[in-house]
Amino acid sequence: MIEAFIFVLAYLIGSIPSGLIVGKLGYGIDIREHGSGNLGGTNTFRTLGVKAGLIVTSADILKGTLAAAIPRFIDLPPIFILIVGIFAVLGHTYPIFAKFKGGKAVATSAGVLLCYEPMLFLTMVAFFFIALYISKYVSLSSMLAGIYAVIYSIVTKDIPLIIVVSLLTIFVIYRHRSNIKRIVDKTEPKVKWL
């Protein structure tokens, strides 16, 4: 019974629409009506600027970390960190507080990994920025960082981590399918500050 409650709580934490809140309270706009229409950090950076983008991205990461940390407070097995984290990612992607239209699962997934395996999180962020420096595509770098996380988890031979990271990476790639098409068509926006 307690597990079911935690799953729902994690989903609700993930559902907190950081981009929508920052956009409306800080700038008086609904970010869903601008740029890509996405509630995630990338669209916030492009639409509202660096400060807002950093706030939203950080908040989205911390949602995953906070939700994933709940099992630690009640002595559930470590695998529950990952399982609960999945519900937070689903909340971020399909938020009940924003008509089920959320982000693309990248930052909140990273937040879950920060809670479960901090070294993976740190090296994955480093890999993301290296890929971003080379490609200039945030979407491509996000997907490549997910693939890196799969390889990392295979090397560590952590079976639950392998399974969950693989599922999250597949989900992230699925969520970026329109970006993949734009990359192929050479119409995907590139970052200009790196």
Could you give the angle at the alpha carbon of 28 between the alpha carbons of 26 and 34, nearest 5°? 105
- Domain count within the chain: 1
What would the pLDDT profile of 60-70 be if each residue is shown by its tens digit? Answer: 999 999 999 99
What would the pLDDT profile of 13-50 be if each residue is shown by its tens digit? Answer: 999 999 999 999 989 998 988 888 888 888 898 888 88
What would the pLDDT profile of 111-130 be if each residue is shown by its tens digit? Answer: 999 999 999 999 999 999 99
Confidence band for 2, pLDDT divided at 50, 70 and 90: confident
Q: How far apart are CA 178 and CA 4, in angstroms?
A: 34
DSSP notation for 43-86: HHHHHH-HHHHHHHHHHHHHHHHHHHHHHHHTT--THHHHHHHH
What would the pLDDT profile of 54-112 be if each residue is shown by its tens digit? Answer: 999 999 999 999 999 999 999 899 999 999 999 999 999 999 999 999 999 999 999 99
What would the pLDDT profile of 130-157 be if each residue is shown by its tens digit? Answer: 999 999 999 999 999 999 999 999 999 9
Q: Backbone phi, then psi, for 72, in 5-degree steps? A: -70, -30
DSSP notation for the chain: -HHHHHHHHHHHHHT--HHHHHHHHHHSS-GGGSTT---SHHHHHHHH-HHHHHHHHHHHHHHHHHHHHHHHHTT--THHHHHHHHHHHHHHHS-GGGTT----SHHHHHHHHHHH-HHHHHHHHHHHHHHHHHH--HHHHHHHHHHHHHHHHHHHT-HHHHHHHHHHHHHHHHHTHHHHHHHHHT-S---S--
Residue 194, in any domain of the structure: no
pLDDT number for residue 92: 97
Query: In which domain, by residue range, is 11 found?
Result: 2-185
Residue 55, in any domain of the structure: yes
Residue 66, in any domain of the structure: yes
